[in-house]
Amino acid sequence: MKERHGARGTTYTGCYRDPDGRERSAGSFPSRREALRAAHREEQRVLSGSWHDASQGEITFFDYVEKEWLPHKHLEVTTRASYVSYLNKQFYPAFGKKKLNKISPMVIQDWVTTAYDEGLSPRSIKKYHVFLSSIFRRAVRDRILVYNPCDHTELPKVIARKSRTLTPEEFERLVAAVPQQYRLMLETFIETGMRWGELIALRPRHIDFLRRTISVEETIVETSKVHSPTGERFIVKPYPKNNEPRTFGVRQAWLDAIAEHVRAKELGRDDLLFATKVGTPISRNSFRTHVWLPAVKASGVDFPVRVHDLRHAHASWLLAGGSDLKSVMDRMGHHQIQTTQKYLHSLPDADQKNLDALDRVAGRHG
């Protein structure tokens, strides 16, 4: 309690200590009782954990992200690059100079409405909003803000896209349309269901020709030199996405083709199976631009298909052929079986198989 005597009489300042032990003012009042009550209210907030320093909310969105949020995030190189892109493209222009405590739910809602009106898809808006919300959630945890302004934002409805799976016949047309040196690479995508980074990291030592198995032990991450901690464009990581190597079987025909490829290229056990002419990793963007898109166009496949869709096709073909969900889940390296389940009915003839099965059962009682 502090007393101050002035021309207008005596005023009383209620004092308390914040969580760090620093003395704080609860305000000045004309009576001792009011000052004590105010100080007691603040002390209770400190004890309950609900107190926060309102002055910390004066920091700008840009300064908070750059000095507090981003430096403490433990991120993969590619994830960090994506986050920086989100910030520079969407959020620094919209919120960078605003103080955190001035970014209200209405400000967030206005950003969503403007982004939608300017043509940003509902799916992208949702992705960006989740990212933005994580920043404010951390500010609440740090007791810089008392609430997350992203809570309860009205987002445009995301309409699920109807996916189409590449059929074996369409895949054969695609393989025929790519230059000869890339055909075995595409056949390996279909044979293994690997992710891009896993496949371009594949080496002869990862293949057991005797047991007819392949092990996914490494992945290669491609990033810009600006975001690379080593200054290298391609970073080899010792384990794939789920941090555990996985081993699964492959067919003899594919093994024979790989053995011939290794012999013809005179590859050592630690060389990359699929690489550029100088033995460096193949760039995903360069492959997509110069090889994949021209092949898709030349093949006559009449829907947009990505290289990653070969992984989807692998899972769908296995399930359509009678494989069980758990084995496909393990082979694909999925964390949850729900991820694998979405491939159960994705082939065009899946529903016809259901009708054929119904005909067989109904015919028994006809």
Looking at residue 37, what is its pLDDT? 87
The rounded distance, in Å, linking the Cα atoms of 137 and 117 is: 27
Nearest to 341, CA basis, from 318, 307, 308, 360: 318
Calculate ∠ Cα 212-216-209, nearest 5°: 20
Residue-wise pLDDT tens digits, 179-215? 999 999 999 999 999 999 999 999 999 999 999 999 9
Residue-wise pLDDT tens digits, 329-360? 888 888 888 888 887 766 666 666 666 766 77
**Ranges in the chain annotated CATH 1.10.443.10:** 168-351
CATH architecture of 168-351: Orthogonal Bundle (1.10)
The rounded distance, in Å, linking the Cα atoms of 9 and 29 is: 11
**Ranges in the chain annotated CATH 1.10.150.130:** 58-141
Residue-wise pLDDT tens digits, 45-94? 778 777 766 667 789 999 999 999 999 888 877 788 889 989 999 999 99
* Those residues with Cβ within 8 angstroms of residue 207's Cβ, 6 or more apart along the chain or in another chain: 213, 214, 215, 250, 255, 258
Which residue would you say has higher pLDDT here, 1 or 261?
Answer: 261
Homologous superfamily in CATH for domain 58-141: Tyrosine recombinase, N-terminal domain (1.10.150.130)
The rounded distance, in Å, linking the Cα atoms of 220 and 234 is: 6
